[in-house]
Chains A and B, each alone.
Chain A
Amino acid sequence: DAGVTQSPTHLIKTRGQQVTLRCSPKSGHDTVSWYQQALGQGPQFIFQYYEEEERQRGNFPDRFSGHQFPNYSSELNVNALLLGDSALYLCASSVRGQGIQPQHFGDGTRLSIL
């Protein structure tokens, strides 16, 4: 049973560039959430996708956008990269349903901005 998979594992970009990160949820999961984790900090919620729509959004600028596909996989796009965007980007998947549905994380994409 495959868990949450993310690609690429590492990425180096320069300021002003654009980046796309990808996530495939755990089998049977239909909801994808994206988080940004700076060094030494806890993950910060970016947004969540369910049924191909953005359902919730954290305090991130419009430079951060996303998409969910019919197979539940998701992309995170970041435009006009800034040095401060350097972080570990985590994708988490879950099942929308009754009761507590915990989120399970992928291994993350480490993004470095030069």
Chain B
Amino acid sequence: QKEVEQNSGPLSVPEGAIASLNCTYSDRGSQSFFWYRQYSGKSPELIMFIYSNGDKEDGRFTAQLNKASQYVSLLIRDSQPSDSATYLCAVNPDTSNTGKLIFGQGTTLQVKP
């Protein structure tokens, strides 16, 4: 079983719709969770992070965490063509907050005009 799992997609949504990206993780002791966006040929760019159960909102982005279900998601409201990218879920399994990140393989999002 992979430590962090994401559906590779592609996930295709029309412009203006809500895109929902999902991630599950295997280490129940994981402390913090990150979403990165990666455009083709570029490096990952941090979108947001979450460490408490519930929702965290930042502009059009909402991260949701459910530690009991070992599930984290990212919602993108009012999706734009510029949101088309690969979204990487990353988990820090350690109590040290600057420890290694374990990444999923990423979900490719396509936002169609």
Contact = CB atoms under 8 A, between A and B. Distances in A.
Interface residues of B, number: 24
A95 B97 CA distance: 9
Which DSSP category, helix, strand, loop or mixed, fits chain A's interface? loop
Contact of B44 (A45, A90, A95): A90
A43 B4 CA distance: 12
B82 interface: no
A57 to B, nearest CB: 9
Given A33-B100, A41-B105, A98-B97, 5 more contacts: A40-B105, A56-B94, A94-B98, A105-B45, A106-B43
Closest 6 CB pairs of A and B: A42-B103, A45-B100, A105-B43, A96-B98, A42-B105, A108-B43
B105 A104 contact: no
A102 interface: yes
B97 A101 contact: yes
Q: How large is the interface on A (under 10, 10 to 19, 20 to 34, 35 or more residues)?
A: 20 to 34
B49 interface: yes
Contact of B49 (A41, A44, A102): A102
A50 B45 CA distance: 22
A100 B45 contact: no
Interface in A85-109: 88, 90, 92, 94-108
